[in-house]
Structure 1
Amino acid sequence: MPHAGQVVFSRLEEVQFGKPAAETVAELARRHQAERVFLMVSGTLNRETDEIETLRRALGNHCVGTFDRMPAHTPRSAVIAAAEQARAAGADLIVTLGGGSVTDGAKAVQLCLANGIRDVDALDKVRAPAPVNSPRVRQISVPTTLSAGEFSPISGVTDERTRVKELFRHPDIVPKAVVLDPAVTRHTPLWLFLSTGIRAVDHCVEGICSNESSPYGDASALHGLALLARGLPRVKADPSDRDARLDCQIGAWLSMTPLVSGVPMGASHGIGYVLGAVFDVPHGHTSCIMLPSVMRWNKPANADKQALVAAAMGHAGEEAADVLDAFIRGLGMPRRLGDVKVGADHFERIARQAMNTPWVPRNPRPIAGPAEVEEILALAA
């Protein structure tokens, strides 16, 4: 039987890359006839750099407010606070400038504005598969990290009551436009830029290695992986190398093609959700720690696909897990659960929660229950 599958295209309308962020955003806002632009931005960038003020000046009187208090992992309470401020400002466009938590927060704010959500409990009403109103206030994103959530119609929001990261989905919460400007990433701490780059590597690798991979996703992910494999070490060696930073940004963009087009991620992403929500491990670090061990555990199920990964990273014929391990170590990133103070006494809880994520049940080597997740965690201990 011939290979069969499905590719889904997102409602992202355009990506502008290699251009100054502020003037590009201002032009996009004019083109979309936005009159009241609400900013959701990194607090650090707002306090310690001129990037946000430059964006405000470019937007002029059309900028009607700024929210800069989104913590890591996008807690529900901060989403509600941002939505209330955007609602009060009468926003007709949201512009984000910051990392993945800010980006995800704005995607959730779109749902709040469209569905009258005004408190943390009411967010339950817009979680899939509940029917919801389509967002009317859309988003333009300027990312400062490489986690690449700006290319996805999924928002990850943490419920502080349960410390569980929940997914909110709607095809229209993907930003209308993304602006990739390497200059704005120069303020991002190097550890954060590099570790979220490994998050993008994780998107590529789990997309390629999925049992549900597609030729379309593979083509993008393999090229994205090659760009990241070359670009990340260049940024570490010379943080002022804007060409290398742009290569990484484009690699992160391409890394999302499998996920956005319908290819599921695997156990690295699933376990990572739990490590982030429960133990506050940064997103990028979860991939640094888990991806090589997941690859090692999965090899009996997908050795042929793992060979493609090693080749794309410039190490044809070598073990993909070893290539990834050495690459991550070379960037100076954490490699073991012990490095982030997660001990074996937590493995049972992590494994149990990971089984409830969207991705662990679709891992390429079947995971029947928590015991198999604990085997992977032991490899990463």
Structure 2
Amino acid sequence: MTELTFMTPPRIVCAPGGLARLGSLAAELGGTRAFIVTDPGLTRLGLGQRAVAALEAAGLSGTVFDRVEADPPYAVVRAAVAHAREAGADLVIGLGGGSSMDTAKVVALALNSDQSLDEMVGTEQATGTRLPLICVPTTAGTGSEVTFVSVLTGDDGMKKAIYSAKLLPDIALLDAELTLGMPPHVTAAPALDAMVHAVEAYTSRTRKNPVSDALAVKALALLAGNFETVLTDGGNIAARSDMLLGSMMAGMAFVNASVGAVHALSYPLGARFHVPHGHSNALVMGPVFRFNIPAARAQYAELAAIVLPGRSFNSDKDAANAFVDRLEGMLTASGLPTRLSQLGVTAADIPAMAQEVTEKITRLIATNPRDMTLDEVMALYREVL
């Protein structure tokens, strides 16, 4: 019998138009003064005010904090905590992409904790009692609405990860209507990120398990099967719903099985060059997955049947290569830049990035199917320079 511990939020609500239920859901958690954490773009789209209206319809009040940035720095999190205290918040709502939800999770915990952010970093280092928390994703990508991790940018400019069961939201509210009409590049990067989550969970060397495997396979089928549709038909609510569900399932898979070297190589791109997380993962996934084939050939062959249904292969090696080709093809189809040089990265930047990966992000190399040396990491970066 396989022994495992699998953690996930106690309640998931998946319904187009579900944002209208935000007030009643918050009330069920005992909230009266909600603090909504989001970003300026969603405020311009009116989503923050729609969330406030849903709260007010249920007799609750809502305060919007919309200063979240990509790879949220500590300064933004501290500002959010200060605003939440001033507002007398008794419930926190993360509305947006992964950065907004990651920020909201830490705010909900920090409001009842005496710890500094650095003291929370690591695995189960966080103390205190979290306020009630609802996460509402507006992109199909990060899966942060169902994870117990928040990734922030420390005062030193380095990525900092807080892993704690206390960060699991009470409710994940999935409303596919919130993703309608998003531009193709805004849709594509998170979707590719979610597919990387599914693949790296399925091939995790140290924490792969039957529950995460089942979720990863279904997630990849939903994401790959609807990717081109949502790029060309942004208003397709059925495809958008499947993408959001797939993203959530991939999040459940990876947070319990871990990610690997794609994420390790992507982190310096976000911290040093401010490449959005999903895009940075998509840029390096092809080289990393090809590098992994000697160790993960059979698993990639299994996943080839998911992303290339009905196609037959002469060998696991052919299937694994076709699998990676398919993922790289989706990056090309997305219209996103496919080379690091297009984003300001130069050959001179590669040694320092590779050193960061092999010396400071070793936990993700440890879960990758194949170990990597400093020279191998530099070579992988050069493949997409």
TM-score (ref. length: structure 1): 0.92
Please report how far the alpha carbon of residue 337 of structure 1 lies from its aligned counterpart in structure 2 after TM superposition.
1.7
Given that residues 24 and 179 in structure 1 are in contact (C-alpha distance below 8 angstroms), is that contact kept between their aligned partners in structure 2?
A: no
Equivalences for residues 44-55 of structure 1 within 5 A: 44-46=41-43, 48-55=44-51
Matched, 1:329 2:332: yes
Matched, 1:372 2:384: no
The 8 Å contact of residues 204 and 368 in structure 2, kept in 1 or not, is answered as yes
Which stretch has the larger CA shift, 369-378 or 95-104?
A: 369-378
2-structure distance, mates of 1:278, 1:34: 39
1:9 aligns with 2:6: yes
Deviation of 1:64 after TM superposition, in Å, equals 4.0
Q: What 5-or-longer segments of structure 1 have no aligned partner?
A: none
1:346 corresponding residue in structure 2: 349
**Structure-2 separation of matches of 1:268 and 1:239:** 28
Query: Paired residues, what number?
Result: 370
SS of 1:334's partner is coil
Alignment of 1:279-290 (within 5 A): 279-290=273-284
Instruction: Write the mapping of 1:50-129 to structure 2, written as runs, cut at 5 A.
Output: 50-60=46-56, 61-116=59-114, 122-129=116-123
CA contact (8 A) 2:146 2:168 kept: yes
Q: Say whether 1:359 aligns with 2:364.
A: yes
- 1:260 is matched with 255
- Which residue identity lines up with residue 331 of structure 1 in the other structure? S
Amino acid at match of 2:75: S
Amino acid at match of 2:10: E
Taking only aligned residues, the RMSD between alpha carbons, in angstroms, comes to: 1.8
AA partner of residue 371 (structure 1):
D
Alpha-carbon distance between aligned partners in 1 of 2:241 and 2:33, rounded to the nearest angstrom: 30
1:167 to 161, 177, 191: 161
Which deviates more from structure 2 when the two are superposed, residues 131-140 or residues 241-250?
Answer: 131-140
The correspondence for 2:303, drawn from 293, 306, 309, is 309
Residues 17 and 130 of structure 1: CA distance in aligned 2, closer, same or farther (over 3 Å): closer
SS at match of 2:180: helix
Range that drifts further, 7-16 or 215-224: 7-16
- The 5 A counterparts of 1:183-198 are 183-186=177-180, 188-198=182-192
Q: Distance in 1 between matches of 2:97 and 2:147?
A: 14
Amino acid at match of 1:229: A
Classify 1:127/1:328 alpha carbon distance in 2 versus 1 (closer, same or farther; 3 Å).
Answer: same
Per-residue CA deviations over 1:281-302 (Å, capped at 9, x if unaligned) read 1111112111111011111111
- Give the letter aligned to residue 225 of structure 1: L
1:157 aligns to what SS in structure 2?
strand
Report % sequence identity: 29
Cα offsets for 1:193-226 (capped at 9, x unmatched): 2110000000011111222322221111111101
1:28 is matched by which residue type in structure 2? L
Give the TM-score normalised by structure 2: 0.91
Amino acid at match of 2:366: P
- Distance in 2, matches of 1:241 and 1:158, equals 35
- When structure 1 is superposed on structure 2, of 89-98 and 353-362 the one drifting more is 353-362
The alpha-carbon distance between structure 1 residues 344 and 100, as it changes in their structure 2 partners (threshold 3 A), is same
Distance in 2 separating the partners of 1:190 and 1:175: 29
Deviations 1:274-328 (A, max 9, x none): 1111110111111211111101111111100111221110255331221211122
Alpha-carbon offset, residue 149 of structure 1: 1.5
Q: CA deviation at 1:11?
A: 4.7
The C-alpha deviation readout for 1:161-187, integer Å capped at 9, x for no partner, is 422110012101121111111111125
Indicate the larger mover: 209-218 or 196-205.
Answer: 209-218
Paired position in structure 1 for 2:220: 225
The Cα shift of 1:129 comes to 4.9
Displacement of 1:227 in angstroms is 0.6
Please give the secondary structure, in 2, of the residue aligned with 1:256: helix
1:132 to 95, 106, 126: 126
Shift of 1:229: 0.7
Does structure 2 conserve the Cα–Cα contact (< 8 Å) formed by 1:227 and 1:251? yes
Give the Cα–Cα distance (whole angstroms) in 1 for the partners of residues 224 and 233 of structure 2.
Answer: 15
Partner of 1:178, secondary structure, is: strand
CA contact (8 A) 2:91 2:108 kept: no
Runs of 4+ in 1 over 6 A off after TM superposition: none
SS at match of 2:21: helix
Structure 1 residues 218-267: Cα deviation after superposition (integer angstroms, max 9, x where no partner): 11111110111111110111111111111100110111233222x12111
User: Could you say what secondary structure the match of 1:155 adopts?
Assistant: strand
Q: Which moved more, 1:128-137 or 1:8-17?
A: 128-137
Q: Take 1:176 and 1:32, find their aligned partners in 2: how far apart are those partners?
A: 8
- Report deviation, 1:8: 2.4
Q: 1:249 to 1:135 in 2, by over 3 A?
A: same
